[in-house]
Amino acid sequence: MGLQTFINFYLKLFFILTPFFVLSAFLSLTREFQDFEKKRIAIKVTAAVMISSFMIYLFGKYIFDLFGITLDAFRIGAGTILFLSALSMISDNNDTASQVNNRDIAVVPLALPMTVGPGVIGVLLVTGAEAGSLMEKITIGAALFLAVATVGILLYLSTSVKRLIGEQGLIILPKITGLFVSAIAAQIIFTGIQNFLNLT
């Protein structure tokens, strides 16, 4: 059960972090950088995403308590934002990313908001609040750590990945990711609506 939960959450969180969209943005923003600079930025992005994700995951429950927001209401809101993010991945390319010229791009915009955007924040808040036992929280935390680390490895090896999948792959893969993310978003919304209707 623990391993199944770990794998399920790892895959879910990996796709929610939109790795191929982030990879495409990373390559666009670091197009004129040296390889060692790209690797340094990839490490900084991974660290920033790791810290921000775990802060949201671990302390999200207190945000619900502070503002008196119900978990199901937040599920519906977070799922809607995630769905809109998925639609933008499917329909848009990365034109906005190429307009950023600042060399200090690791935290903003790559980590926030491109990787950890409103949809990811919403899902992490809901996931952290849903986790019941300590073991479940640790299992999901381990899955989150591995998902972020996998995205970091993709960015660190971005030059090799680009050679492997080619320009067309960089166009197609974010759209496929968008389809998976839209399905996850729909499931979150439907769960929130179903639970809300059962309570009324």
Which residue in 155, 125, 154 sits closest to 140, CA to CA? 125
Give me the number of domains the chain comprises: 1
pTM (2 d.p.): 0.85
CB neighbour class for 31 (10 Å; exposed up to 12, middle 13-18, buried from 19): exposed
Dihedral of the alpha carbons of 166, 114, 176, 183, in degrees to the nearest 10: 170
117-168: per-residue pLDDT in tens? 888 999 999 999 888 889 999 999 999 999 999 999 999 999 999 999 988 8
Asked if 9 and 144 touch (Cβ cutoff 8 Å), the reply is yes
92-114: per-residue pLDDT in tens? 655 544 445 445 789 988 999 88
Phi-psi region of 27 (alpha: psi -120 to 50; beta: other; left: phi over 0): alpha
Asked if 11 and 72 touch (Cβ cutoff 8 Å), the reply is no
Residue 31 has pLDDT above 90, yes or no: no
pLDDT at 170: 83
Dihedral of the alpha carbons of 101, 102, 105, 107, in degrees to the nearest 10: -130
Phi, psi of 105 (to 5 degrees): -115, 5
pLDDT-based confidence at 74, cuts 50/70/90? confident
Residue 1 has pLDDT above 60, yes or no: no
How much is the average pLDDT of 41-48?
Answer: 97
Domain encompassing residue 113 = 2-199
Return all residues near 5 (Cβ < 8 A) that are at least 6 apart.
136, 139, 140, 143
More confident residue, 185 or 1: 185
* Number of CB atoms found within 10 A of residue 102's CB: 8
How many residues does this entry show for the chain?
200
Separation CA 9–CA 148 (nearest Å): 12
pLDDT at 150: 98
Which residue in 16, 24, 28 sits closest to 173, CA to CA? 24
Asked if 130 and 71 touch (Cβ cutoff 8 Å), the reply is yes
Q: Which two tokens mark 188? A: 């979150």
